[in-house]
Amino acid sequence: MRYGVKAAVLAAVLMANSAQAAERPSARDLGVAPGVFAPGPANAITDVAGVKVGQVTRIEGADVRTGVTAILPHGGNLFQDKVPAGVAVANGFGKLTGTTQILELGEIETPIVLTNTLSVWRAADALVTWTLGQPGNEQVRSVNVVVGETNDGYLNNIRKRAITAEDVLEALRSAKPGPVEQGAVGAGTGTMAFDWKGGIGSSSRVLPAALGGYTVGVLVQSNYGGTLAVDGDPVGRRSGRYYLHEHAPAPGGAPPSVADGSIMIVIATDAPLSDRNLERLAKRSFAGLARTGSAFTNGSGDYAIAFSTADQVRRTPARRRATSTTADIPNDQLSPLFVAVADATEEAIYDSLLKARTIESRDLDGKPVRGEALDPGLIRRR
């Protein structure tokens, strides 16, 4: 991760940030484990073999609170060995680049980068630089980059457009398998969810051997609102912090809740799926989003991107040159994967809140603003 602080205190800030995230409980620490399937070893999108995640966090001065999160479907040349993919949109108030080509061709040819709304185009340009620089791409003249976003303008001075090309390239270069840091990091540094501090969250589910043994991993960038529910418990309503509470029969004294925002949901699986069925898988992630209490407001951009890492469905140069046969799980066997993606999405969102620490900043007028971390004590233990 990269912080805009003097070198003398960089290590201290980094260690303190990691320690705070480690000290905060996950949903499972509190007895909240949605669904019937077990997670993978890291309980993260990186449990899908080959997937890597890299993050850069920018915390500078009084008002820069933002970052970059990069997801690499595999460690090779993605432009040459493309992966099948599908996109689903619950509400389209967003700036997700590359969507139409994914819908048209059913494939992804670059890593997926997440950042803030006004940094999408700078991130896209950096992703072009990354792709053109990969060995084997010397003759590439067109590339469809995939960059998603949410608006972190409450805690971050988004007008400064602090994200640089080097931030994006560093996130790509630093991507690795294994545990994924969650909470107020990377593209989730300045985000809010349900009037609490949101952020990056990740979870996975592994199907039993009898159902194929496939893994589904999810990473979210949460920045939306509604009425928070955790494992069915109406935490937001009990806390008096929920969308439209001021119009409820017995309104509380809290200020009006802001439910506009967005969420990016990135889904990986090693199940051999066609782009058509990956789109169907992406749509099912919204079931997990709904369980958390999302209001799906007019001002929210709710997007899901799903891709398969399975070797037998990868769009290699040889397969793109001639007719070929690829594997595809039949429709009648997809339901367990649908269940897995909904459950992993739900848990990833909980962890994006629970692992986030409180972030303080300044608004555009210089007034103090605060993204308060969700109190784990509000979660009813099972």
Q: Name the residues annotated as catalytic.
A: 262, 300, 302
Helix ranges (DSSP H) in the chain: 7-23, 99-105, 120-132, 165-173, 235-239, 275-291, 317-321, 335-354
How many helices (H) and strands (E) in the chain? 8, 14
C-alpha distances in Å from residue 214, one per residue of 75, 238, 349: 20, 38, 22
The two structure tokens encoding residue 112: 């997926």
Using an 8 Å Cβ cutoff, are 105 and 115 in contact? Answer: no
Say if residues 266 and 317 touch (Cβ distance below 8 Å). Answer: no
Q: Hey, which residues does 371 pair with through a beta bridge?
A: 359
- Using DSSP's 3-state secondary structure scheme, residue 300 falls into strand
What's the rounded Cα separation, in Å, for the pair 382 and 380? 6
Categorise residue 59: left if φ over 0, alpha if ψ from -120 to 50, beta otherwise: beta
Cβ(274)–Cβ(84) below 8 Å: yes
Q: How far is CA 11 from CA 15, 16, 63, 247, in A?
A: 6, 8, 21, 47
Q: CA of 70: how far to CAs of 74, 194, 213, 338, 346, in Å? A: 12, 24, 26, 24, 21
Q: Cα(99)–Cα(70) distance, rounded to whole angstroms?
A: 17
